[in-house]
Amino acid sequence: MNMPPTDINVLNRRFGAPGRIAFRTDKMGAPILALVNRYGSCELSLYGGHVLDYRPIGHVPVLFMSKKSLFEPGKPIRGGIPVCWPWFGSASEKTLPLHGFARIMPWDLHSTEYSSDVTEARLSLSASEATRRFWPHAFELTLRVWLDQRLNLALTTVNRDAHPITFTQAFHPYFRIRQIMDVNVRGLDQAPYRDLLTNQTGTQTGVLNIRAETDRVYTPPAPECVLHDPGIGRALALAYTGAKRLVVWNPWIDKARAMPDFGDDEYTGMICLEPANTDGDEVTLEPGARHTLSLALQASLI
Protein backbone atom coordinates (compact mmCIF):
# COMPACT_ATOMS: atom_id res chain seq x y z
CA MET A 1 0.00 0.00 0.00
CA ASN A 2 2.81 2.41 -0.86
CA MET A 3 2.05 5.89 -2.09
CA PRO A 4 2.58 6.12 -5.86
CA PRO A 5 5.59 8.35 -6.69
CA THR A 6 4.50 11.95 -7.09
CA ASP A 7 6.02 14.85 -8.96
CA ILE A 8 5.02 17.90 -6.92
CA ASN A 9 5.99 20.21 -9.78
CA VAL A 10 3.53 18.44 -12.06
CA LEU A 11 0.76 18.74 -9.44
CA ASN A 12 1.54 22.42 -8.90
CA ARG A 13 1.47 23.10 -12.65
CA ARG A 14 -1.73 21.17 -13.23
CA PHE A 15 -3.73 21.94 -10.08
CA GLY A 16 -1.93 24.79 -8.29
CA ALA A 17 -2.77 28.52 -8.24
CA PRO A 18 -0.36 31.12 -6.82
CA GLY A 19 -1.35 32.18 -3.31
CA ARG A 20 -4.42 29.89 -3.28
CA ILE A 21 -3.51 26.24 -3.98
CA ALA A 22 -0.08 24.65 -3.47
CA PHE A 23 1.45 21.21 -2.98
CA ARG A 24 4.15 19.64 -0.84
CA THR A 25 4.84 16.07 0.28
CA ASP A 26 4.91 14.52 3.74
CA LYS A 27 7.59 12.15 5.01
CA MET A 28 5.99 9.11 3.33
CA GLY A 29 5.89 10.99 0.01
CA ALA A 30 2.13 11.59 0.08
CA PRO A 31 1.09 14.85 -1.61
CA ILE A 32 -0.36 17.49 0.70
CA LEU A 33 -2.49 20.21 -0.77
CA ALA A 34 -2.81 23.64 0.88
CA LEU A 35 -5.99 25.61 0.19
CA VAL A 36 -5.97 29.31 1.02
CA ASN A 37 -8.59 32.04 0.82
CA ARG A 38 -9.18 35.38 2.50
CA TYR A 39 -10.75 33.65 5.52
CA GLY A 40 -8.03 31.14 6.30
CA SER A 41 -6.22 28.04 5.11
CA CYS A 42 -6.37 24.29 5.35
CA GLU A 43 -4.16 21.35 4.43
CA LEU A 44 -5.36 18.11 2.94
CA SER A 45 -3.42 14.88 2.32
CA LEU A 46 -4.10 12.63 -0.65
CA TYR A 47 -3.26 9.81 1.77
CA GLY A 48 -6.66 8.95 3.21
CA GLY A 49 -8.38 12.05 1.78
CA HIS A 50 -7.42 13.44 5.15
CA VAL A 51 -7.75 17.08 6.25
CA LEU A 52 -4.66 17.72 8.39
CA ASP A 53 -4.99 21.34 9.43
CA TYR A 54 -7.50 24.21 9.44
CA ARG A 55 -6.59 27.76 10.42
CA PRO A 56 -9.26 30.43 10.12
CA ILE A 57 -7.61 33.85 10.17
CA GLY A 58 -7.44 35.23 13.70
CA HIS A 59 -7.61 31.78 15.31
CA VAL A 60 -5.11 29.22 16.56
CA PRO A 61 -5.38 25.92 14.61
CA VAL A 62 -8.78 24.24 14.91
CA LEU A 63 -7.58 20.66 14.46
CA PHE A 64 -5.42 18.55 16.73
CA MET A 65 -2.57 16.48 15.26
CA SER A 66 -0.64 14.11 17.53
CA LYS A 67 3.10 14.75 17.73
CA LYS A 68 3.43 10.96 17.53
CA SER A 69 1.25 10.43 14.45
CA LEU A 70 3.08 7.92 12.28
CA PHE A 71 2.57 9.13 8.69
CA GLU A 72 3.36 5.60 7.48
CA PRO A 73 1.70 3.76 4.59
CA GLY A 74 -0.98 1.39 5.87
CA LYS A 75 -1.33 3.27 9.20
CA PRO A 76 -3.99 5.90 9.92
CA ILE A 77 -2.98 9.49 10.69
CA ARG A 78 -3.68 10.38 14.35
CA GLY A 79 -5.35 13.77 14.16
CA GLY A 80 -6.98 16.06 11.62
CA ILE A 81 -10.14 14.65 10.03
CA PRO A 82 -9.93 10.93 9.18
CA VAL A 83 -12.55 9.55 6.79
CA CYS A 84 -14.02 6.35 8.26
CA TRP A 85 -15.52 4.34 5.41
CA PRO A 86 -17.06 1.84 4.44
CA TRP A 87 -17.39 0.89 8.06
CA PHE A 88 -17.20 2.77 11.33
CA GLY A 89 -15.47 0.93 14.19
CA SER A 90 -14.56 -2.68 13.65
CA ALA A 91 -15.74 -4.73 10.68
CA SER A 92 -17.54 -8.04 11.13
CA GLU A 93 -14.26 -9.67 10.02
CA LYS A 94 -11.98 -8.64 12.92
CA THR A 95 -8.76 -8.79 10.91
CA LEU A 96 -9.96 -5.87 8.75
CA PRO A 97 -8.74 -2.35 9.62
CA LEU A 98 -10.67 -0.40 12.26
CA HIS A 99 -12.81 2.40 10.76
CA GLY A 100 -12.50 1.05 7.21
CA PHE A 101 -9.82 1.39 4.57
CA ALA A 102 -10.52 4.83 3.05
CA ARG A 103 -8.25 6.52 5.61
CA ILE A 104 -5.26 4.32 4.71
CA MET A 105 -5.52 4.51 0.89
CA PRO A 106 -3.97 6.91 -1.59
CA TRP A 107 -6.76 9.01 -3.13
CA ASP A 108 -6.71 10.70 -6.54
CA LEU A 109 -6.94 14.42 -6.99
CA HIS A 110 -9.79 15.05 -9.40
CA SER A 111 -9.82 18.86 -9.62
CA THR A 112 -9.20 22.15 -7.86
CA GLU A 113 -10.88 25.50 -8.35
CA TYR A 114 -11.11 28.90 -6.75
CA SER A 115 -13.04 32.14 -6.90
CA SER A 116 -12.68 35.36 -4.93
CA ASP A 117 -14.14 33.77 -1.78
CA VAL A 118 -13.92 30.00 -2.21
CA THR A 119 -11.02 27.57 -2.67
CA GLU A 120 -11.89 23.96 -3.38
CA ALA A 121 -10.40 20.52 -4.07
CA ARG A 122 -12.12 17.32 -5.16
CA LEU A 123 -10.58 13.96 -4.36
CA SER A 124 -11.77 10.54 -5.38
CA LEU A 125 -11.29 6.91 -4.46
CA SER A 126 -12.68 4.12 -6.62
CA ALA A 127 -12.74 0.35 -6.37
CA SER A 128 -9.42 -1.25 -7.28
CA GLU A 129 -7.54 -4.46 -6.61
CA ALA A 130 -6.32 -2.84 -3.36
CA THR A 131 -9.83 -1.96 -2.11
CA ARG A 132 -11.27 -5.34 -3.15
CA ARG A 133 -8.91 -7.01 -0.66
CA PHE A 134 -11.00 -5.30 2.04
CA TRP A 135 -14.44 -4.90 0.44
CA PRO A 136 -15.62 -6.76 -2.67
CA HIS A 137 -17.83 -4.02 -4.16
CA ALA A 138 -17.57 -1.43 -6.93
CA PHE A 139 -17.96 2.13 -5.65
CA GLU A 140 -16.93 5.68 -6.25
CA LEU A 141 -16.15 7.96 -3.35
CA THR A 142 -15.72 11.69 -3.82
CA LEU A 143 -14.49 14.08 -1.16
CA ARG A 144 -15.08 17.77 -1.80
CA VAL A 145 -13.22 20.07 0.56
CA TRP A 146 -13.86 23.77 0.24
CA LEU A 147 -12.98 26.81 2.23
CA ASP A 148 -15.28 29.79 2.37
CA GLN A 149 -15.93 31.46 5.72
CA ARG A 150 -16.12 27.89 7.00
CA LEU A 151 -14.29 24.65 6.31
CA ASN A 152 -16.66 22.34 4.42
CA LEU A 153 -16.36 18.64 3.61
CA ALA A 154 -18.76 16.52 1.55
CA LEU A 155 -18.20 12.79 1.14
CA THR A 156 -20.33 11.26 -1.60
CA THR A 157 -20.63 7.51 -2.03
CA VAL A 158 -21.91 6.19 -5.36
CA ASN A 159 -22.79 2.54 -5.81
CA ARG A 160 -21.06 1.45 -9.05
CA ASP A 161 -21.92 -2.19 -8.53
CA ALA A 162 -24.78 -4.27 -9.96
CA HIS A 163 -26.18 -5.08 -6.51
CA PRO A 164 -27.05 -2.94 -3.45
CA ILE A 165 -24.14 -1.93 -1.20
CA THR A 166 -24.36 -1.26 2.55
CA PHE A 167 -21.90 0.77 4.61
CA THR A 168 -21.38 2.76 7.80
CA GLN A 169 -19.14 5.83 7.98
CA ALA A 170 -17.99 8.95 9.82
CA PHE A 171 -15.94 12.07 9.64
CA HIS A 172 -13.70 11.64 12.68
CA PRO A 173 -12.39 15.15 13.43
CA TYR A 174 -9.87 15.65 16.23
CA PHE A 175 -10.39 19.15 17.64
CA ARG A 176 -7.63 21.04 19.31
CA ILE A 177 -8.65 22.44 22.70
CA ARG A 178 -6.79 24.19 25.51
CA GLN A 179 -7.75 21.81 28.33
CA ILE A 180 -10.28 18.95 28.30
CA MET A 181 -11.51 19.79 31.83
CA ASP A 182 -12.55 23.27 30.70
CA VAL A 183 -14.42 22.64 27.44
CA ASN A 184 -18.04 21.67 26.92
CA VAL A 185 -20.19 20.50 24.04
CA ARG A 186 -23.51 22.26 23.53
CA GLY A 187 -26.49 21.03 21.54
CA LEU A 188 -26.83 17.54 23.02
CA ASP A 189 -29.25 18.33 25.86
CA GLN A 190 -31.85 15.52 26.10
CA ALA A 191 -30.00 13.49 23.46
CA PRO A 192 -30.09 9.73 24.04
CA TYR A 193 -26.73 7.99 23.83
CA ARG A 194 -25.15 4.55 23.89
CA ASP A 195 -21.94 4.26 25.86
CA LEU A 196 -19.52 2.08 23.90
CA LEU A 197 -17.38 1.46 27.00
CA THR A 198 -20.17 0.04 29.19
CA ASN A 199 -22.80 -0.76 26.54
CA GLN A 200 -25.27 1.18 28.73
CA THR A 201 -27.68 3.74 27.36
CA GLY A 202 -28.39 7.15 28.85
CA THR A 203 -29.71 10.64 28.19
CA GLN A 204 -27.60 13.78 28.19
CA THR A 205 -28.63 16.54 30.57
CA GLY A 206 -27.41 20.04 29.76
CA VAL A 207 -23.98 20.65 28.27
CA LEU A 208 -21.55 17.75 27.97
CA ASN A 209 -18.39 17.99 30.10
CA ILE A 210 -15.67 15.36 29.75
CA ARG A 211 -14.22 14.08 33.05
CA ALA A 212 -13.14 10.53 32.13
CA GLU A 213 -12.62 8.25 29.14
CA THR A 214 -15.57 8.88 26.84
CA ASP A 215 -16.78 6.88 23.86
CA ARG A 216 -20.47 7.56 23.23
CA VAL A 217 -22.80 7.42 20.25
CA TYR A 218 -25.34 10.24 20.59
CA THR A 219 -28.58 10.67 18.68
CA PRO A 220 -28.64 14.46 18.61
CA PRO A 221 -31.85 16.52 18.51
CA ALA A 222 -30.47 18.47 15.52
CA PRO A 223 -27.45 17.86 13.25
CA GLU A 224 -25.37 20.54 14.87
CA CYS A 225 -23.41 21.23 18.04
CA VAL A 226 -20.93 23.74 19.43
CA LEU A 227 -17.59 23.02 21.06
CA HIS A 228 -17.15 25.75 23.63
CA ASP A 229 -13.53 26.40 24.64
CA PRO A 230 -13.11 29.34 27.02
CA GLY A 231 -9.35 28.61 27.34
CA ILE A 232 -8.75 29.29 23.65
CA GLY A 233 -11.61 31.81 23.59
CA ARG A 234 -13.41 30.02 20.78
CA ALA A 235 -16.80 28.54 19.97
CA LEU A 236 -16.54 26.03 17.15
CA ALA A 237 -19.87 25.27 15.44
CA LEU A 238 -20.30 21.93 13.67
CA ALA A 239 -23.16 21.51 11.19
CA TYR A 240 -23.62 18.29 9.28
CA THR A 241 -25.97 16.42 6.96
CA GLY A 242 -26.35 12.77 6.03
CA ALA A 243 -25.45 11.47 9.51
CA LYS A 244 -27.83 10.26 12.21
CA ARG A 245 -25.34 10.14 15.09
CA LEU A 246 -22.62 12.14 16.74
CA VAL A 247 -19.83 10.10 18.34
CA VAL A 248 -17.92 11.76 21.19
CA TRP A 249 -14.50 10.33 21.98
CA ASN A 250 -11.65 11.11 24.34
CA PRO A 251 -9.23 8.27 25.23
CA TRP A 252 -8.26 9.72 28.64
CA ILE A 253 -5.21 8.49 30.57
CA ASP A 254 -4.91 4.72 30.18
CA LYS A 255 -5.97 4.49 26.54
CA ALA A 256 -3.69 7.42 25.66
CA ARG A 257 -0.77 5.52 27.20
CA ALA A 258 -1.72 2.38 25.31
CA MET A 259 -1.77 4.06 21.88
CA PRO A 260 1.69 4.01 20.27
CA ASP A 261 0.91 6.94 17.97
CA PHE A 262 -0.47 9.27 20.66
CA GLY A 263 1.36 11.17 23.43
CA ASP A 264 0.58 10.19 27.04
CA ASP A 265 -0.68 13.68 27.90
CA GLU A 266 -2.22 14.63 24.58
CA TYR A 267 -5.73 13.59 25.68
CA THR A 268 -5.95 16.89 27.57
CA GLY A 269 -5.67 18.86 24.33
CA MET A 270 -8.14 17.07 22.03
CA ILE A 271 -11.70 15.88 21.64
CA CYS A 272 -13.33 14.01 18.73
CA LEU A 273 -16.88 14.95 17.69
CA GLU A 274 -17.80 12.64 14.82
CA PRO A 275 -20.88 12.87 12.59
CA ALA A 276 -21.51 9.21 11.84
CA ASN A 277 -23.79 6.49 10.59
CA THR A 278 -22.87 3.64 12.90
CA ASP A 279 -23.96 0.01 13.32
CA GLY A 280 -27.74 -0.08 13.27
CA ASP A 281 -28.05 2.88 10.89
CA GLU A 282 -26.21 1.49 7.88
CA VAL A 283 -26.71 3.23 4.56
CA THR A 284 -27.85 0.98 1.71
CA LEU A 285 -27.57 2.18 -1.88
CA GLU A 286 -29.15 0.60 -4.93
CA PRO A 287 -26.99 0.38 -8.08
CA GLY A 288 -26.23 3.92 -9.31
CA ALA A 289 -27.61 5.58 -6.14
CA ARG A 290 -25.59 8.05 -4.03
CA HIS A 291 -25.37 9.34 -0.47
CA THR A 292 -23.58 12.43 0.86
CA LEU A 293 -22.23 13.02 4.34
CA SER A 294 -21.25 16.64 4.89
CA LEU A 295 -19.64 18.65 7.66
CA ALA A 296 -19.06 22.38 8.04
CA LEU A 297 -16.90 23.96 10.76
CA GLN A 298 -17.14 27.60 11.75
CA ALA A 299 -15.01 29.22 14.42
CA SER A 300 -16.05 32.33 16.38
CA LEU A 301 -14.28 34.21 19.11
CA ILE A 302 -15.91 34.22 22.53
Residue 243 as a binder of ligand BG6 (CB under 6 A): the answer is: no
Residue 266 as a binder of ligand BG6 (CB under 6 A): the answer is: no
Cis peptide before 260 (omega within 30 of 0): no
Active site residue 213: no
Smaller CB separation from ligand BG6, 56 or 275: 275
Task: State the catalytic residue, choosing from 50, 99, 172, 228.
Answer: 172
Q: How many residues at the interface with ligand BG6, by CB under 6 A?
A: 9
Sign of the CA dihedral running 199, 237, 167, 51: negative
Smaller CB separation from ligand BG6, 66 or 119: 66
**Binding residue (CB under 6 A) for ligand BG6 from 247, 270, 285, 297:** 247
**Binding residue (CB under 6 A) for ligand BG6 from 20, 50, 137, 172:** 172
**Binding residue (CB under 6 A) for ligand BG6 from 20, 50, 75, 99:** 99
Residue 155: alpha-carbon gap to chain centroid: 10
Angle at 45 between CA 160 and CA 108, to 5 degrees: 35
Q: Which residue is nearest to ligand BG6 (CB)?
A: 98
Residue 75 as a binder of ligand BG6 (CB under 6 A): the answer is: no
Task: State the catalytic residue, choosing from 274, 282, 286, 291.
Answer: 274
Nearest CA-CA partner of 155 in 203, 215, 205, 102? 102
Kindly tell me the burial class for residue 47, based on how many C-beta atoms sit within 10 Å of its own C-beta (0-12, 13-18, 19 or more): buried
**Binding residue (CB under 6 A) for ligand BG6 from 139, 171, 175, 249:** 249
Smaller CB separation from ligand BG6, 10 or 258: 258
CB of 247: closest distance to ligand BG6 in angstroms? 5
* Residues 79-98 interacting with ligand BG6 (rule: CB under 6 A): 98
Active site residue 172: yes
Smaller CB separation from ligand BG6, 194 or 234: 194
Burial annotation 240-252 (CB, 10 A radius, 16+ → b, else e):
bebbbbbbbbbbb
Smaller CB separation from ligand BG6, 20 or 194: 194
**Binding residue (CB under 6 A) for ligand BG6 from 43, 53, 120, 215:** 215
Catalytically active residues, by annotation: 172, 274
Residues found near ligand BG6 in the complex (CB under 6 A): 76, 98-99, 172, 196, 215, 247, 249, 274
